[in-house]
């Protein structure tokens, strides 16, 4: 299946002075027969005494038709998030820096291990 990242965008951004729980979640979503998205939710209390919460979306297009069976495919849970995550990572670092705070460098994520953990799959 050939695909490309069509767009990334911020759905919601909140920066506050309140401490919040750290959250990192992502979920695939099929939009239509040739479009799907990965939705990220990220929340973190920053060392500068502020908190950031971001809802972020990456939209992918394919040349072939897709259906709901793709929701169980590792590609949607491993490869697509790995393609989109660096854009979220850069956005968070830059928005904090441009707002006058120290940038927050998100760690690398092993999406394959995360997907296996979610589905209780043993590594060979």
Q: What confidence tens digit (pLDDT) does each residue in 37-65 have?
A: 999 999 999 888 899 999 999 999 998 88
CATH architecture of 3-118: Roll (3.10)
| pLDDT tens-digit map of 102-123 | 888 899 999 999 988 888 765 5
pLDDT, tens only, 58-103: 999 998 888 777 778 888 899 999 999 999 999 999 999 999 998 8
Domain boundaries, the chain: 3-118
Note the pTM of the prediction, 2 decimals. Answer: 0.87
The whole-number pLDDT of residue 70 equals: 76
- Looking at residue 121, its pLDDT comes to 65
The tokens describing 57, both together, are 């979306």
Question: Which pLDDT score, from 0 to 100, does residue 27 have?
Answer: 94
pLDDT in tens, 12-31: 999 999 999 999 999 999 99
CA distance 19 to 63: 44
């Amino acid at each position: 299946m050939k695909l490309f990242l069509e767009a990334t965008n911020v759905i919601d951004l909140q920066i506050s002075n309140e401490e919040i729980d750290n959250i990192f979640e992502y979920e695939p979503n099929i939009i239509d027969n040739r479009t799907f998205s990965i939705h990220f939710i990220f929340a973190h209390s920053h060392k500068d005494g502020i908190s950031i919460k971001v809802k972020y979306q990456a939209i992918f297009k394919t040349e072939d038709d897709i259906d709901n069976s793709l929701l169980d495919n590792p590609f949607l849970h491993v490869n697509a998030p790995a393609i989109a995550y660096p854009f979220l990572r850069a956005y968070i670092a830059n928005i904090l820096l441009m707002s006058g705070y120290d940038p927050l460098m998100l760690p690398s994520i092993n999406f394959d291990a995360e997907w296996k953990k979610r589905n209780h799959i043993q590594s060979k």
